[in-house]
């Protein structure tokens, strides 16, 4: 059978709109401004259920009944407690890097060894599921401890009796959050758990298709997620608001950025051709605070969209999830350094669910590349010969 490049199918750059597999986890319908987890609207879930319910839906395939929710919440709580060997490693890991995502990927790699994870290929469904839930549970504990160690503070131990989002905020800040703050962050977490075949999710599935262990899949996903083009930058969107300062400066600010060919942080999305439903939901959440930052954000959003509509006609450029995510997290008391890590607390659920789904497929992901270099074969020059 021939394997010449001409026998392969050419696809758009970046695999845009190319379907590479089937999934039961959800979909992003960018032209409609809609996305869903399984059969439910993701933003409606964020408005109506908590972290534990949404995570159960993605990992187990259905919303939990009362008894299932109690057991699932208790299991996540128990698994949030760091194994002593991992807690002992964290100060040394934090001393090597101040980037929370670097700390997370290094620590999760070590966690895979501490937990004795076997390759997905060798484990059964129960073993793989147990590893996935443990990773979801331990991720916020690692990130919160890293944040406090970088700030010269003692890490706060997990409290298994608290709800997942409440305990995460408590471990980060050192105090119990208000009900409003916890619920606002929880809505953000639920709305960002999964989002189609983005780069990090696809990366996790590629590694899972090799049969590697779950920690390897997540470390690879975090590596992809850490790239500036992917993981998002809610803190940068918030910095843009700080830079604008007052509403009357918004029009001149955006015109200057467009003239210099700079991206407007917090606006535009690779998939959505209309408004990002996550941004719309978080705007409503932000309005739960009577704060000048909310007034500035909503006013700047309108001013920027007006200017972009004039300067870039024919393109749909609306506020994306980053824009209001930064506003909500700041008002809920999170340090800007924890904005992207908090995104990771949510997205690890989607990565884990995708790894579980991929592990059931025996086929390794192995696409082809089109060679465009000098035509082979050519003789090796004498100057390259070993002497």
Active site residues: 269, 322
Between the alpha carbon of residue 51 and those of residues 47, 55, 75, 182, 293, the distances in Å are 11, 6, 13, 11, 26
**Nearest of 104, 58, 31, 44 to residue 271 by alpha carbon:** 31
Residue 319's DSSP bridge partners are 267
For 304, counting Cβ atoms within 10 Å of its Cβ (0-12 exposed, 13-18 middle, 19+ buried), the class is buried
**Nearest of 238, 224, 263, 237 to residue 344 by alpha carbon:** 224
**Nearest of 176, 178, 172, 177 to residue 153 by alpha carbon:** 172
Cα distance between residue 30 and residue 13, in whole Å: 18
Q: Collapse the DSSP code of 267 into the 3-class scheme (helix H, G, I; strand E, B; otherwise coil) and give the result.
A: strand
- DSSP code string of 291-307: -HHHHHHHHHHHHHHHH
Distance from the Cα of residue 11 to its chain's centroid: 26
């Amino acid at each position: 059978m021939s394997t010449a490049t001409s026998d392969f199918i050419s696809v758009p750059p970046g695999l845009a709109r190319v379907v590479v597999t089937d999934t039961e986890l959800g979909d992003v319908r960018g032209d409609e401004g809609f996305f869903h987890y399984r059969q439910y609207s993701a933003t409606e879930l964020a408005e109506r259920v908590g972290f534990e319910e949404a995570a159960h839906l993605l990992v187990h395939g259905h919303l939990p009944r009362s008894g299932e929710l109690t057991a699932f919440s208790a299991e996540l709580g128990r698994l949030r407690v760091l194994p002593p060997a991992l807690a002992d490693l964290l100060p040394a890991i934090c001393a090597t890097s101040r980037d929370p995502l670097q700390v997370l990927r290094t620590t999760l790699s070590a966690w895979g060894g501490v937990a004795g994870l076997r390759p997905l290929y060798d484990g059964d469904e129960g073993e793989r599921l147990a590893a996935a839930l443990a990773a979801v549970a331990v991720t916020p504990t690692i990130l919160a401890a890293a944040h406090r160690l970088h700030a010269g503070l003692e890490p706060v131990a997990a409290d298994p009796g608290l709800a997942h989002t409440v305990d995460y905020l408590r471990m980060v800040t050192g105090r119990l959050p208000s009900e409003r703050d916890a619920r606002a962050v929880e809505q953000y977490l639920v709305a960002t758990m999964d989002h189609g075949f983005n780069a990090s999710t696809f990366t996790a599935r590629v590694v899972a298709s090799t049969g590697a262990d779950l920690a390897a899949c997540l470390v690879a996903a975090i590596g992809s997620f850490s790239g500036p083009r992917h993981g998002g930058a809610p803190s940068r969107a918030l910095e843009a608001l700080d830079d604008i300062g007052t509403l009357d400066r918004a029009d001149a600010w955006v015109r200057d950025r467009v003239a210099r060919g700079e991206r407007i942080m917090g606006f535009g999305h690779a998939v959505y051709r209309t408004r990002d439903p996550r941004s719309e939901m978080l705007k409503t959440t932000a309005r739960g605070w009577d704060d000048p930052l909310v007034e500035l954000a909503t006013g700047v959003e309108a001013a920027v969209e007006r200017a972009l509509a004039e300067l870039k006609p024919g393109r749909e450029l609306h506020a994306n999830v980053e824009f209001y995510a930064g506003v909500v997290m700041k008002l809920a008391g999170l340090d800007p350094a924890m904005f992207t890590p908090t995104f990771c607390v949510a997205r690890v659920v989607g990565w884990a669910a995708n790894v579980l789904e991929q592990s059931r497929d025996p086929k390794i992901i192995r696409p082809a590349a089109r060679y465009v270099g000098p035509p082979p074969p050519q003789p090796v020059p004498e100057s390259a010969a070993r002497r």
